[in-house]
A and B are shown apart, each in its own frame.
Chain A
Amino acid sequence: MNHLRRYRIFLAIVAVDLVILAVRPAVGVQIFRQSWQIVLQMLSILPPVFLLLGLLDVWVPRETVMRYVGERSGLLGTTLSIVLGAAAAGPLYGAFPIAQTMARKGASYFNIIVFLGAWSTLKIPMFLFELSALGTSFALTRWAVNVVGIIGLAWLVNRLMPEADRQILARADVSPPGGAPGAARAAGNPAAGSGPDSGPGPGRWARRRPRKKPGQ
């Protein structure tokens, strides 16, 4: 039952799709066709990304990540975050799990948001496409303005995020699989770190800050 509960929003959407399919078959078929395209798109990026993150988790020491993109990595860390994001391919949702692993390994929050911004809008393959489709002055201006903007936005987000909320990213799924999603989302769940599935990364985070999220 718990398993079904986790998927209740998805199942509700599928129910809506089915109703549309029954009332307007042509539109319904179109929905399922489009959804299938997204399934393929997700399959083309998510399995290898999660596999690589698993490998990174067990092989790359926390100290290495901290040195390159941690709190004291300075300009090098931010530059590296931009390069990493810009070299990427694929939609923004592919960056979220990477950001989480970065957080668990000690990357600074500022650099993570920079990485997210770079992934969303500075991707080199996209830029080349934009260059040919919309012209040099359009694409170049947008790219250059966004390099500045992404750093500025990350600075703002970093400033405006309370410490407790920043911790969410590193331990967003420390509850054992199959548990109620609410338990994982309640940021201050102290029992989460002792679950059977908690690796050294999330466990460390959860142990260090068993603090309650204000306002919850």
Chain B
Amino acid sequence: MSTTLLYALAFGGLGLSYLKDPARTRQAVRKALGALNNILPEFLVVLGLVGLMLTFLSPEVIGRVVGSGSGWLGMILASIVGSITLIPGFVAFPLAASLLDRGAGAAQIALFISTLMMVGVVTFPLETRYFGRREALLRNGLAYGWSFIVAAIVGWVVTR
């Protein structure tokens, strides 16, 4: 649905732009292609890494790791798996729900979801290319630490 909308927006805009100023529109397309071509190697690295990651960290494996331990070890494991994986919400949320049903702690699940969304290990090369190493380290590092605070608060609210 959102893909159709996005494409409609892009090509609608392109058509409008062309009607107003063909030369400028050609310039816009050139810029778009240039930018895409420039960053393509890093996007392909992400593609390759995610392909490998999804194969070895299948939902079952993730479920076993995140749902297994409790205490600090379980938390650390959940945060590591969350940071490495890059899976869409429609896979992650049902998985998290089934883990909760099977008795996993809310804090642990919140930690997994939070690191999954905010910390990107496989997208790190891409983020570094755009933002530089320092930003990528800072943002991901701070987000990792922050996820533990989120987990503590969510765990406290949900089990109260």
Task: Enumerate chain A interface residues (CB-CB to B < 8 A).
Answer: 6-7, 9-10, 13-14, 16-17, 27, 30-32, 34-35, 37-39, 41-42, 44-55, 57-59, 89-93, 96-97, 99-100, 113, 116-117, 120-121, 125-126, 129-130, 133-135, 137-138, 141-142, 145-146, 149, 152-153, 156-157, 160-162, 165-166, 168-169, 172-173, 175, 177, 181, 184-185, 187, 197, 199
Given the interface contacts A50-B36, A145-B150, does A55 sit within 8 Å of B13 by beta carbon?
Answer: yes
* A142 pairs with B28, CB closer than 8 A: no
Q: Which residues of B contact A168 (CB under 8 A)?
A: 130-132, 135
* A46 pairs with B36, CB closer than 8 A: yes
Identify the closest chain B residue to A27 (Cβ).
Answer: B55
Which of A44, A117, A134, A173 interacts with B118 by CB under 8 Å?
A117
* B48 pairs with A10, CB closer than 8 A: yes
* A169 pairs with B158, CB closer than 8 A: no
Q: Which residues of B contact A51 (CB under 8 A)?
A: 10-11, 13-14, 28-29, 32
Consensus secondary structure, chain A interface: helix
* A169 pairs with B48, CB closer than 8 A: no
Q: Which residues of A contact B157 (CB under 8 A)?
A: 137-138, 141
Apart from the given pairs A51-B14, A92-B123, A157-B142, 18 other A-B contacts in the complex at a CB distance below 8 Å: A7-B41, A10-B47, A34-B51, A38-B46, A46-B43, A47-B7, A51-B10, A54-B32, A58-B17, A91-B86, A97-B39, A133-B94, A133-B96, A133-B97, A137-B158, A141-B153, A157-B139, A172-B131
